[in-house]
A and B are shown apart, each in its own frame.
Chain A
Amino acid sequence: MKIVVCVSHVPDTATKIKISADEKNIDSAGVSYVINPYDEFAIEEALKTKEKIGGEVYVVTIGNEAAKESLRKALAMGADEAIHLKYDGYLDSLNVAKNLAEEIKSLNSQLVFMGKQSIDFDNCVVPQMTAELLDYNSISVCVSFSLDGNKVTCEREIEGGKEVVESQLPIIVGAQKGLNEPRYASLKGIMAAKKKTIQEKNCTFTNNSVELIKIKKPASKNPGRILGTDVSVVPELVRLLREEAKAI
């Protein structure tokens, strides 16, 4: 069975973001990029599933040349094949889903893992959209996954608890933190990945229905203010909380 994992190449969470001059992107100079952390759970789950039932793991990404780095890492972790859908620019979620759906269809894969969201644009819709386009089932925000024949059982995180859901192949599973503990790329894996080739293709769908107009940073927080250090300032503090901050 072909198991597909879709990954996104995103700025490291520790990065301090600067916005580019045209306000449509971030300034990538000095920014280190990583595999989207939720996609790492997806890779791990795909590898674990392959270890149980056999098959090959295909890792797919959409992005510019630099996105290959994430594919290399996935190969080093143990993925068998990598496909790079090349596009240098902004694609809206629907286009991402359309391009992925087409690739999944051509691979004829029944089991697809991806992160529940990518931490750059945070739309949280690509797993569900892709499933809809393919007429596959989908379960997202999964913290456990098991496969028994065609039957898929997942635990999903919901507000204040978990729910257990069942479905069946073909399916797209959206990975949440807690699903597993992603493995490190082993040194042997890194050496083996060197010999694997990355298949390159161009993206078919690039006409966005959602246009990116502008990226803005959140308003910077005002610095704190010290009113005093003893109880005499309490009335003033209450007044400010009520009138200025409107917090009480």
Chain B
Amino acid sequence: MNKFKGVDYFNADSLLTEDEIMVRESVREFVDAEIIPIIELNYREGKFPFELVPKMAEIGLFGSTLPQKYGCAAMNNVAYGLVTQELERGDSGIRSFVSVQSALVMYPIYAFGSEEQKDFWLPKLAKGEKIGCFGLTEPDFGSNPSGMITKAEKIDGGYLLNGAKMWITNGTIADVAVVWAKFNGVVNGFLVEKDFKGFSAPETKGKHSLRASVTSELIFDNVFVPESNILPKTSGLKSALMCLNQARYGIAWGVVGSMMACYDSALNYAKSRKQFSKPIAAYQLTQDKLVFMVTEITKAQLLNIQLGRLKDQNKVKFTQVSLAKRNNCQKALEIARVAREILGANGILDEYPVMRHSANLESVKTYEGTHEMHTLILGEDITGFAAFD
């Protein structure tokens, strides 16, 4: 197979710095050597490739924007985006692992944790010695997290936690869960450790999507959480949503990796597959599909670079993140489906990556704010009318 060279129709590389490009190239090499050769089998077997964790830690993929004193790379957000893009070219499930560890576990501990919590957890999470998960969504509260039922009661020396969370990436394999629960009616963040009594995290089985990633339920049955494990600097649900905003940002970039993988696969296939007298790439209908793909990839790349620059200047609005997440996930899914059409029957085989990406993107379009919720967020922002409670 030809080495993947990237897709850059508009010379978007000229908008990146030398070190941002180096970060991308290093992760691209890593993905080519470590993820792509093993991913199909793991996906088929419904298994997260655990052996990748120390390797990913060694190259510094966890919490890569956080300060060096915690063992992190202190990169900017554009470089972080490029990391998620390359990882998702491998697989959305692997990218999800890194997104959760970085944006949903290390970020909240960094932003809302005490100095002791930061010093204890961040270096271990950066090294991959500890794995984290994030519990906000509940079985009956997805798009409306403010209705959550999980609650904390104050007792001597700490809190008593009761409730359940659902669709939790990494839940079963996590050493620590960042759990959001209501205390006196206000949403607070708690660090629940895996061996706390009454805490269990059974794996969600039967997935057709994100099969190389662990998804779980978290159950809290009178779990005692010591005082030292509440995140002291949160301010209600807003803090949890700040984490989601970090993760959505990574997704907006990540799915461009899926787009590129599908486009690359479809383009190579179309050039070599002959039907009637010529390669299918020579037919207008196929060219229309390929042009659609490269156009959407180009638009998403430019959107992401500007989004990242705004984020690095602390000028980004959460609605802008919503726009990029919404658009890029939708277009990635469309590209994956069109790529499958170009590959014909071959497209359904795991000899090619497109069906896996397509199935993964069904989840990615829905998690971290559904496509529909991002539409309503943007709708409210531009009209001033909220179309939801």
Contact = CB atoms under 8 A, between A and B. Distances in A.
Interface of A: 12, 14, 32, 69, 72-73, 76, 183-191, 193-194
Which secondary structure dominates chain A's binding surface?
Answer: helix
Interface in B54-68: 58-61, 64, 68
A191 B59 contact: no
Nearest to B29: A184
Nearest to B79: A187
Interface residues of B, number: 24
> B-side binding surface: helix, strand, loop or mixed?
helix
B68 A188 contact: yes
30 contacts: A14-B2, A32-B5, A69-B18, A72-B22, A76-B22, A76-B26, A183-B58, A184-B26, A184-B29, A184-B58, A184-B59, A185-B22, A186-B26, A186-B59, A186-B60, A187-B27, A187-B59, A187-B73, A187-B75, A188-B68, A188-B71, A189-B60, A190-B19, A190-B22, A190-B23, A190-B73, A191-B74, A193-B19, A193-B22, A194-B19
B105 interface: no
A76 to B, nearest CB: 6
A88 B59 CA distance: 34
B315 interface: no
Contact of A187 (B2, B5, B29, B64): B64
B72 A188 contact: yes
A72 B30 CA distance: 18
Nearest to B17: A194
Nearest to B55: A184
Contacts of A183: 58
Given A72-B18, A73-B22, A186-B73, 18 more contacts: A69-B18, A76-B26, A185-B22, A185-B26, A186-B26, A186-B60, A187-B64, A187-B79, A187-B83, A188-B60, A188-B68, A188-B71, A188-B73, A190-B22, A190-B23, A191-B19, A191-B73, A191-B75
A188 B71 CA distance: 8
A76 B27 CA distance: 13
B205 interface: no
A187 B26 contact: yes
Interface in B1-32: 2-3, 5, 18-19, 22-23, 26-27, 29-30
Nearest to A191: B73
Contacts of A12: 3
A76 B75 CA distance: 14
Please name the 3 residue pairs, one residue from A and one from B, whose CB atoms are nearest each other, closest first: A187-B60, A187-B73, A188-B73
Contacts of A184: 26, 29-30, 58-59
Nearest to B18: A72
Interface of B: 2-3, 5, 18-19, 22-23, 26-27, 29-30, 58-61, 64, 68, 71-75, 79, 83
A48 to B, nearest CB: 14
Contacts of B27: 187
Nearest to B58: A186
Contacts of B83: 187
B16 to A, nearest CB: 13
A11 to B, nearest CB: 13
B68 to A, nearest CB: 7
Contacts of A194: 19
Contacts of A72: 18, 22
Contacts of A73: 22
A128 B387 CA distance: 75
B102 to A, nearest CB: 11
Given A14-B2, A14-B3, A72-B18, A187 B23 contact: yes
A72 B21 CA distance: 12
A190 B27 CA distance: 11
B271 to A, nearest CB: 14
A185 B30 CA distance: 10
Contacts of B22: 72-73, 76, 185, 190, 193
B93 to A, nearest CB: 21
Nearest to B4: A14
A194 B68 CA distance: 14
Nearest to A185: B26
Q: Pick from A72, A183, A186 the residue with the most CB of B within 10 Å.
A: A186
Contacts of A76: 22, 26
A69 B18 CA distance: 9
Contacts of A188: 60, 68, 71-73
Contacts of A189: 60
Nearest to B34: A184
Contacts of B64: 187
A237 B5 CA distance: 42
A66 to B, nearest CB: 12
Nearest to A190: B22
B61 A187 contact: yes
Contacts of B23: 187, 190
Interface centre among A73, A183, A191 (most CB of B within 10 A): A191
Contacts of B61: 187
For A183, A187, A194, the residue with the greatest tally of chain B CB atoms inside 10 Å of its CB is A187
A58 B162 CA distance: 58
Nearest to B65: A187
B345 to A, nearest CB: 26
A12 B22 CA distance: 15
A193 B17 CA distance: 13
A183 B60 CA distance: 12
A32 B29 CA distance: 14
B289 to A, nearest CB: 25
Give the residue among A32, A185, A193, A194 with the most B Cβ atoms within 10 A.
A185
Contacts of B26: 76, 184-187, 190
